[in-house]
Amino acid sequence: MKKILIVEDDPFLIDIYVTKFEKRGYNVTSAKDGEEALECALREPFDIIMLDIILPKMDGWDVLREIRNSKERKDARVVVLSNSEDDSKRIQQQLRVEKHLIKAHYTPEETVKEVEELL
């Protein structure tokens, strides 16, 4: 069973994503802030991490930098979810982002389909 970590501070979106992925047979873990996300990501491997950028306690870019700097999880596959198209392409390339999805451009169902294409 494929494992997904969903990092999102909006409880409504977490519920939607978790429900949609679980109905498709995925094992889903969620984190509501950057510190919790980093703890989860370093504790166990995930097939993909869906990472929001604007998060409490630690932003998504800092979480991703820490993941990339870890020996065990440096090659984790990450999809960035954000509300901004202005997120630097250079940062995305440096941190090896698989895909960058702008939340406003995708329904939750479309987001799930985009992520499934990578699994």
d(CA 30, CA 106): 20
Residue 83: what pLDDT? 82
Report the distance separating Cα 29 and Cα 15, nearest Å: 11
pLDDT, tens only, 2-60: 999 999 999 999 999 999 999 999 999 999 999 999 999 999 999 999 999 999 999 99
* Region for residue 25 given its phi and psi (left: phi exceeds 0; alpha: psi -120 to 50; beta: otherwise): left
Report the half-sphere exposure of 116 (CA within 13 A, side-chain side).
14
What's the confidence (pLDDT) of residue 43? Answer: 96
Task: Tell me the β-bridge partners of 52.
Answer: 81
pLDDT of residue 11: 96
- pLDDT tens profile 50-97: 999 999 999 999 999 999 999 999 999 999 998 877 666 666 677 888
Q: What is the CATH number of domain 3-116?
A: 3.40.50.2300
β partners of residue 82: 102
Global confidence as pTM: 0.92
For the chain, domain boundaries = 3-116
